[in-house]
Structure formats: structure tokens, C-alpha cells
Chains A and B, each alone.
Chain A
């Protein structure tokens, strides 16, 4: 089985997310906004969403991503950030845009 496919279906704080091969992050030249492209579709991202995906390198854990966001003064209490990051990545995981490496 290929890496990260068919493993745990829940994004936990110790998961190591990475973008799936079909997903590509780029800048929308018209707006400067980041967008996640995948077959026939695109997802417009806000600044935090884009930052989270940039941090998904397959090595860093979800907890590690939250730490970086907190250190970068992202708005919200650490617990709130943590649950929002987890929920965001879970949504992308469920649609196959994010995968998880070995925990």
C-alpha cells in the first residue's frame, strides 16, 4: 500500500500530514490569494489555511504545525488553533487532498 493511504482515518495531533500528489498549492495571479488545485477544482485558502498547508511536509506533526502557528501569533487561543487545524486537515484528508505519513 502506498504511503499514508488506508492508514488511520482520523487526523490526530501526532499525525504527519502531507499534500497528496494530486494537490498543488499556487498563487492566484489575479488576487494574490493562495489556492489549492486538484483535478478540475480549486480551493481558495485564507492566509492561515495556506500557511497550514505549507507546513504539511510529511515530517512535521499536527502538534508541530500548531506550535508554529502559535509562535507566528495566529489569532486565537492555542487550544482553539489546535482544534481548528485538526478540523481543517481532517476535511482535506477526507477529500483525499491531504495524506498522513507514519505517526
Chain B
């Protein structure tokens, strides 16, 4: 039985998405995780989360709008008093449906904007989408729904921060989240093409901080550093099993978005067990809770109560050991992985980096002109032959 309590439920309603962003945070085998929860299942999960003390609900995906029962799920959340954030690409959305979602009780909309203009945005998103996003932003503003603009930063757009700020201001956004890509899942596959240089990052940060000061009281400007440049790991999920529960489209209850990519951890499904039982004492949520699992140098580190040892998924995907010190930490024996990625970022010059043909938004599926790997259903062979089942 834990003394921790969750404050936020991240409901990944589906991994399906019309966009194919090269830094998508869904697992690379997302197509193997089908939507398995019914409307009633999701409503029960929300009720159980509320009973555990959750007050924030993130409806995300994939693209949550692809679920036809989104309005019903939102209405249930509103009935419980949850603060409901709809995190969306804006595709597919028509004004009428946004009205319905507002009336059902959405508290805020977070709209992803890939970049300041059509061509570069669509190169990252892997499909035509920019004009529609502008329409969605206008509807959100017109309907009086608090808007957050979410932009993932990487070397292709990190020089555009002033323009992104300007766009968010034009949308009347309450909040702008400039978050550097987290180099896991699809972003890890594309890391060498996406990681910015330190100089570019510093410049972007200066622009963001000056915008924050200028817009104080009007628009909140958040700037999330990439942990590859911070020398100390991020407090991933505010600690394992401490504040957050993620529920995946196939009904797994997880301490973070990618915990199901860690081998050797037991699975917990909300279809077979109550959320409270999973939270309180499941081996999965206990695995890296607190600090008893920590190796050195974490175990004797003063910062262990600040960063909780960093990100378990990053530790696993960079070192093969989920219980290792996060390599983002300069004190990690594996920090060289991060240093080498940074050194590579310095060596690549723009012309070599992206040789995409001008104006071609129809990005190659994989390893094409741009060298970027787009999010697509993995081929059958990658899934052991049952991708279509």
C-alpha cells in the first residue's frame, strides 16, 4: 500500500492518428496495441481515477478525436469535476464537433502546431494539415475555450521560436508550450536528424524567456529543455508511480507513456483489475517507486528527491538496463551516449541534414530523401506476423 496518490490521469484513447510526426511519443510498435476499451470501460476508469484523487484528465492519443464516443467520455469526466484537457492535432475536427465538446465540458484544448509555416510543418507531420490547424485555432478562440499551443522543438524549427510565439499570440492562446522533443520512441529513431545544437537551443531559450516576460499575465510561455543538454536528468513523470497514471488504448495501466516498452515488468490491465489496486500495490507501479531500487551514483545523490533518478525508459533504451542511472545525467557511466549525440549535432550542417525537395509535403515513408523516419504502422515482419490481426 503506497502513500502516494495520483493527481493526473493520462488517457491515451487511441494510438491511431492522421499525422505521422517524426517525434511521436507513442511506442514504435503502436500498431500492435489496438483500441480495446469500450465507452463504458473508459467511464469506469475515470470514475476509479476520481476516487483515487485524480483531478486532471488529459485526453490524448494518438488522436483522441478519432474516438466517436469522445463527447460521452468528456461529459462523464465533467460530471466528476475533472479538469479535462483535450490534446489534439486538430485533425479531424469540424466546428460543430468542437461546440459539442465544449458543451460536454472540455476545460482546455491543446493544439499541436508543428512549425510556423505550411511547408516545414507538413514535412514534420508527414501530411497536409497546416491550413486546417489554423481553422481549428480560430474556432477554439471564437468559442472561448482556453487554448494551449503545443510545439515540439527540434533542429528544424528551433530557430523559429519568435514566429511560433507570434502565431500563438495571434490565436489568442492562453499558454504556449515549447517543449523540446524527448528522445524516446520515434524521436529516438530520428534523433540524429532532430537534436539541435547547443547554440541553437540557447538562442531559442533566450527568445522564449523574453516572450515570457513580455507576455506575463497574457500568455504563459513554457520552455522545456531537452535533457540531452541539461546534464541532470528530468524528473520524469514527477517520479514513477508518484503523480501520474497513463492508460493505454489497449487498457494497460502504466506509470508512464512508454513503460510497456520495458521488458520484464508485469502488465496490469484496467479490464481485469481496479485502478486503485494497480496503483496501490502492483509490482509494476512499485518497481521504481521511491528510491530503494536506485543504483549508485543515484542512491547517495542529493538530487534523488528532485529528479527521482530520471527516466526509466531512457535508461533502458540507451543502456539496455531500465534500472540504470539515466544517461542524461553527467554522473552516469553511460553519459557518453548523450555526449556523442550532441557532438554529432554539432557536426551536421543544415544542407546535409535535410535534403527534402522544396514544397514536397508528401514525405517519404522511411529512409527517403529526408532521412527522417515517419510514424507508420510497422511492417508485418516487425510484429512477428500478426500486425493485421
Contacts and interface: CB of A to CB of B under 8 A. Distances in A.
B174 A95 contact: no
A99 to B, nearest CB: 8
Interface in B37-56: 50, 53, 55-56
A96 B218 contact: yes
A5 interface: yes
Nearest to B58: A40
Given A21-B146, A42-B55, A96-B174, A29 B50 contact: yes
Interface string B53-80: 1011010000000000000000000000
A5 B175 contact: no
B231 interface: no
A42 B56 contact: yes
Interface string A40-60: 111000000000000000000
Given A22-B107, A30-B5, A39-B85, 11 more contacts: A5-B218, A21-B146, A26-B55, A39-B174, A40-B56, A41-B56, A42-B55, A42-B83, A94-B216, A96-B175, A96-B220
A39 B146 contact: yes
B25 interface: no
A37 interface: yes
A35 B58 CA distance: 18
A2 to B, nearest CB: 7
Interface residues of A, number: 24
Interface in B1-53: 5, 7-8, 50, 53
B108 interface: yes
A35 B53 CA distance: 12
26 contacts: A6-B218, A20-B146, A21-B144, A21-B146, A22-B107, A22-B146, A22-B174, A22-B175, A28-B53, A30-B5, A30-B53, A35-B55, A37-B56, A38-B83, A38-B108, A39-B107, A39-B108, A39-B110, A39-B148, A40-B8, A40-B56, A41-B56, A94-B216, A94-B217, A96-B174, A96-B217
Contact of B55 (A5, A6, A37, A99): A37
B217 A22 contact: no
Interface residues of B, number: 25
B86 to A, nearest CB: 10
Name A's interface SS. loop
Interface of B: 5, 7-8, 50, 53, 55-56, 58, 81, 83, 85, 107-108, 110, 144, 146, 148, 172, 174-175, 216-220
Contacts of A39: 83, 85, 107-108, 110, 146, 148, 174-175
Contacts of A41: 56
B174 to A, nearest CB: 5
B336 to A, nearest CB: 34
Contacts of B81: 26
A37 B216 CA distance: 19
